[in-house]
Chains A and B, each alone.
Chain A
Amino acid sequence: MDFLVFQYPMITIQACLDGLLLGILFALIAYGMALQWGVMNIINIAQGDLVILGGYIAYFMYLYGIHPAWGVIVSPIIMYFVGIAIYKLVINKVVDRDLFISILATFGISILFMQLMNFAFGADVVLANSGYGTTMLFDNNVVLPNSKIFSAFISIVFAICLVVYMKRSKLGRAIRATAQNARAAKILGVDTEKVYAATFGINAALCGVAGALISITFTIHPYMGLPYTIRSFMIVIVAGLGNLPGVAMSGMGLGIFEEFADYILGTEFRIGSVFLLLVLILVYRRFKLSRKREYLK
């Protein structure tokens, strides 16, 4: 398969298009991560597990005969309340503390969710069939499932809605103010506790949308969460906090990288290459910054 990528351009086009559509989904998850990281200063290892949980909600709607595309509406609503519950139980105790505490605590939540989902839904790889068919391009050489196009479209719609909401609404303004300076926001009458809860809820809802889309487009499995966390972390550190176009671009870049890694190295190294890329990016940035005697903060 290795050399075909270069000799046969259609595979390259296929991988690029697949990667682009996949990357838009990654960017949506990463946007949620950037939001909570920027506002609450926590890194949520359970991000990927929230995505998978959102996916199972859509999958169950499919099992009960409802078209899984409605999951895009239902899943974020349920996930919003799941997010608020997690915030009230655990996250509000780690917000002001060391980042490592939040990493470990959410790691615990991640293990908990993984196992609960394994009990509740079984350890099978599942997918919700949307029945959208496929689109053929370039004389039937490039095959694009319509579900992927649908999911990319929905992701963009949700991202735009969220950006507008953050800019225009009162809560959005409060969230942005808290991100800039939590203490000053508190003095000026912003209920930061509520803002944090809402932020985590919105993040969980975004994960719910992404999960529903993933269950339509790809497959879901209780143990597949961690790679999504790592991907979104990677996208955020490449793009930087609060840089939305950057998040979208690096998300798509990561998607394309993954598709090519899949073709060239083989599927068994796909996840491994994602994790290795994270290490390489961090090390590259570390060396770049150390020339100026700085380090990643």
Chain B
Amino acid sequence: MNRNSWILYIGILVFGLVAPFIFPAFKVQLSILCVLIVLATTWNIQGGEMGYNTFGNILFYGLGMYLCASVQVGMFFPLAEWTESGGEKTFVHTPSQFFQGMAAGLVVAAVVPTIVAGLIGYAILGLRGHYFAICTLGLGVAAGEISGGIEIIGAGQGFTTPPFPNIGGLEARGEFFYFLSFGALVLTFIAVRAIYTTRFRLILNAIRDNEDKAEAMGIETMKYKITGWMISAFFCGLAGGIMGGLVGYIDSTDVAFDGREMGVFMVLMAILGGKGTLWGPIIGATLFHFFKEGFWTFFLGWQYVALGVLIVVIVIYFPEGLMGWLREKYPERFGEVIDEADRKAQVELK
């Protein structure tokens, strides 16, 4: 890492730390942005680096959301009574109970999806290409439909997460969740950046480029695929837990296992920014969040129509994303050396 990138990282960190005080009105939006970046970055481990286009990371996100809220309630009060009929009015978390519950809940929300990913990984990751994509799509929707039928977590009527304790009001709530999600973002970035500098990333890229050859070279591809999925699941679960608390209400198909929204968003954000790069998903998520909020504000009611059009346009016209476009335009910046004679020959061929 050279001096410039240190300055960049410290600049972003400082900006992240002061952002809620500069833009106090956008605290919730910034928190959602952090969660979106976490989701896009972790999707990129599968879709970008490994070449396994998954719609199923939403499974871990939703699982984390339900687990975090359940633990937070279940540690102190009976869960069934809470979800039965507005338990949040009968039982009130004291501030210490709330924060203890949140901490324990986030740990569970991150660890359990990781274990689940490890358990189902061997079965699911043996599929390739579009079979994997459709299978994970089915997994996400099935999880949503099934959790919508389970009574103890609120079934069809939803699950209200514990309200923020009465200290400092809305301001404190916004800051708490912002720093929580920003912390998750920083953690994710450090972890992903660290693994991208190791041999692990090269192995994932080898799997993407030609899995059979990678296997023939003696790489136990399944082991690395499962590890990659577990890393994604860990951060997706964490992000889900935070998002559950932030939204304050969990519904099986509209908030938690929302394959139609969040499940596609994470794919789109990574593609928009450029999959297979470290910064692509981050830039993509930021741009996408601006787009989306613009749609939601200016095309109220038509947002899904705009979203559908946006998906088609991005996928058809920008499949390489922003980073891919920049790479095409300025290959020198990405450390690619291009032979002038070769380039001229290419132009003549065209």
Interface residues of A (CB under 8 A from B): 43, 90, 93-94, 97, 99-101, 103-105, 107-116, 119, 226, 230, 233, 237, 266, 268-269, 271-272, 275-276, 278-279, 282-283, 286-287, 290, 295-297
Minimal beta-carbon separation of A237 from chain B (angstroms): 7
Which partner residue on chain A sits nearest B47 by CB separation?
Answer: A100
B300 part of interface (Cβ distance < 8 Å): no
Interface string of B99-118 (1 = CB under 8 A from A): 00000000000000000000
Q: Is B134 a contact partner of A278 (Cβ separation < 8 A)?
A: yes
Query: Given contacts A112-B305, A115-B304, A115-B305, are A286 and B311 in contact (CB under 8 A)?
Result: no
| Residues 294 to 313 of chain B near chain A (Cβ within 8 Å) | 301-302, 304-305, 307-312
Q: Is B123 a contact partner of A283 (Cβ separation < 8 A)?
A: yes
Which partner residue on chain B sits nearest A286 by CB separation?
Answer: B126
What band does the interface of chain B fall in when counting residues whose beta carbon is under 8 Å from A?
Answer: 35 or more
Minimal beta-carbon separation of A101 from chain B (angstroms): 6
Instruction: Give Cα A269–Cα B131 distance, bound, in whole angstroms.
Output: 24
Chain B residues closer than 8 Å to A112, beta-carbon distance: 304-305, 308-309, 312
| Residues 117 to 134 of chain B near chain A (Cβ within 8 Å) | 123-124, 126-131, 133-134
Interface residues of B (CB under 8 A from A): 53, 123-124, 126-131, 133-135, 137-139, 141-142, 144-146, 148-149, 155-156, 260, 264, 267-268, 271, 301-302, 304-305, 307-312, 315-316, 319
What is the count of residue pairs linking A and B with beta-carbon distances less than 8 angstroms?
131
Chain B residues closer than 8 Å to A111, beta-carbon distance: 260, 264, 304, 307-308, 311
Could you list 29 A-B pairs, sorted by A, with CB under 8 Å?
A90-B316, A94-B315, A100-B133, A101-B316, A103-B130, A104-B267, A104-B311, A108-B309, A108-B315, A111-B260, A112-B304, A112-B308, A112-B312, A113-B308, A115-B308, A119-B305, A230-B137, A268-B149, A272-B141, A272-B148, A275-B138, A275-B142, A275-B145, A276-B138, A276-B142, A282-B138, A287-B123, A295-B126, A296-B131
Minimal beta-carbon separation of B218 from chain A (angstroms): 15
Minimal beta-carbon separation of B273 from chain A (angstroms): 15
Instruction: Give Cα A266–Cα B129 distance, bound, in whole angstroms.
Output: 34
